[in-house]
A and B are shown apart, each in its own frame.
Chain A
Amino acid sequence: MSAHTTSMRDALYEAPGPRTKLLTLIGTIVSLVLVCIGLALVIQQFRITGQLDAKYWAFYTNMNTWRFLFDGFLGTIKVAAMAAVLSLALGVVLMLGRTSGIKVLEIVCRVIIDFFRGVPSLLLIYFFYLAMPQYGVRLPPFWMITLPVALAASGVLAEVFRAGVNAVPKGQTEAALSIGLTPGKTMFKIVLPQALRIVVPSLISQLVVVVKDTTVAYVVSYPDLMQNARVLLTTHDAVVSVYLVVAIIYILVNFAINQLSIYMARRSGNPIISRTTENPT
């Protein structure tokens, strides 16, 4: 979603005449009726299968339910925050390696970045959960979920940082070198600080990916929001209502993070670089 979504949408049409206005009105009414019928059918299906019964929803009036879900949410935040910090650090290191100018280091970093970008985070989680214990390395559940999520994010972040570095005008580097700064100093004192500012909106939007990846914490039995939801639904035997509520919580949290990153992007005028917009090679 960019700043001019609405204007471009509206620019596609001329100012409507009386006939078009009528057609649009009819279309609006017909589609509104169809949407309402669709919603009614869904609610009807809930009703006839008994999912609207009070026993499936009554426990939400109990504060303990929400406290338990909130505990899980804190777990999600802990994992996401730690994974975000780790992946930021690793992402910067990988980006510096990839742009270092030292051939061997560049190739190694490139392979690492492509590996973590091209492998599903679930496979990495299974690696920490199933493969590492075979070599006698049994991490606590927190790290079994945090490390793979951080590694998966670091590959994408390295590319985001690289795009940020590329977005800093060439003249900055040239000026820094010509006043006698070493290439290293140029990077750390001139280019990197500006690049970091450019990618702030992109980093916030990457947080959504991290939060999504933490949802599989139940694989390693770490008590995050999803895992606590699974406990909750076995105690109340309410599969539909619990999963629906948890899904809505995740959607709202991620929506808020996305809106924040769009707001930051609009305010600073820097684009959001993500997995979808970056160059795949």
Chain B
Amino acid sequence: MDFAQIIEQYGENYVKAIFETMSMTAICFALAMIIAVFITVMRVSPIKPLRLVGDVYVQVFRNIPGVALLIVIAYALPNLKVVLPWKACVEVTVVLLASAFGSENFMTGINAIGVGQIEAARSIGLTFGKTMSKIVIPQALRSAVLPMTNLLIATMLTTALGSQVPMSPQELTGLVSYITTRSTGAGIVPFIISAVCYAGTAVILGVVGNYIDKRVRVLR
């Protein structure tokens, strides 16, 4: 099948799939950021059990393969009477993975500031809250732009896990396997369309992230 035939037959599916991939990416990334901040606060708090929980959370979810986590959530949890819709399974998986990496990015940003600045802030009499809000968080956010851009791209690629469960409507990767198994002789075209959507978005996000980073980065 050539490009025109694929578009004629599956054009509508592709529009839906693009929307599905992009909206899942946006929702998951936003949720992951919120959880990442929460986890990072736990990891820098002086309360040991909270630090431990935060560290274990990050180590578990940055080391587990996405598919393994998805399978646990989608197929093992129902046996524990926790049943989620297919799409929610994918979203929970992506959020858990992305938030662990997000927290790592924040920690790297905080660590890059350096002990000297904190000591300086304290010696001029800033309180803990002021040190955090005026010194630590602004710098950590600025240096996190590039890693978070990469994380956003990685989040988009991770939503391809949606192809491993019967989602409806499908996202970009699931749609390719749907088209190829349905229409014999669909050939290489469905892959090219999806791949261009992914890679094109990744390049655009990269350019935008790089531009923002150049404007806000703290040069050391």
A-side residues, CB < 8 A to B, are 1-2, 4-5, 7-9, 11-14, 16, 24, 27-28, 31-32, 35, 45-46, 49, 51, 114-115, 117-123, 126-127, 130-131, 134-135, 208, 211-213, 215-216, 226, 239-240, 243-244, 246-247, 250-252, 254-255, 258, 275-281
Contact = CB atoms under 8 A, between A and B. Distances in A.
B65 A130 contact: no
Contact of B46 (A24, A118, A254): A24
Contact of A243 (B43, B68, B111, B187): B68
B75 interface: yes
Please report whether the interface of chain B is mostly helix, strand, loop or mixed according to DSSP. Answer: helix
Contacts of B191: 123, 126-127, 131
A233 to B, nearest CB: 9
27 contacts: A8-B118, A11-B118, A12-B132, A27-B47, A28-B48, A45-B80, A49-B79, A117-B199, A123-B172, A126-B163, A130-B177, A134-B185, A215-B65, A226-B65, A243-B75, A246-B68, A250-B63, A250-B68, A254-B63, A254-B64, A276-B101, A276-B104, A276-B147, A277-B108, A280-B202, A281-B203, A281-B206
A208 B63 contact: yes
B210 A280 contact: yes
B133 to A, nearest CB: 13
A216 B53 CA distance: 29
Interface string B91-121: 0000000000100110110110111001100
Contacts of A49: 79-81
B149 A212 contact: no
A250 B65 contact: yes
Nearest to A230: B71
B205 A280 contact: yes
Nearest to B147: A276
Contacts of B181: 130
Nearest to B117: A11
Interface residues of B, number: 83
B90 interface: no
A240 B68 contact: no
Contacts of B82: 45
A51 B131 CA distance: 48
B76 A123 contact: no
A30 B166 CA distance: 42
A57 to B, nearest CB: 14
Nearest to B97: A212
B69 interface: yes
Nearest to B131: A12
B210 A279 contact: yes
Given A14-B122, A212-B66, A280 B150 contact: yes
B171 to A, nearest CB: 10
A2 B108 contact: yes
A49 B78 CA distance: 10
Given A126-B180, A131-B187, A276-B154, A255 B80 contact: no
A244 B200 CA distance: 37
Nearest to B69: A247
Contact of A276 (B48, B63, B75, B105): B105
B201 interface: yes
A115 B200 CA distance: 8
Given A131-B190, A211-B65, A251-B64, 10 more contacts: A12-B118, A24-B46, A45-B82, A49-B79, A115-B199, A123-B195, A226-B65, A226-B71, A276-B101, A279-B210
B207 interface: yes
A101 B190 CA distance: 34
B162 to A, nearest CB: 9
Contact of A250 (B43, B64, B81, B160): B64
A222 to B, nearest CB: 14
A51 B80 CA distance: 7
B39 interface: no
Contacts of A5: 107, 111
A155 B85 CA distance: 34
Contacts of A2: 108, 111
B65 A1 contact: no
Nearest to A14: B122
Instruction: Across the A-B interface, give the 4 residue pairs with the lowest CB-CB distance, nearest first.
Output: A280-B206, A118-B202, A118-B199, A120-B160
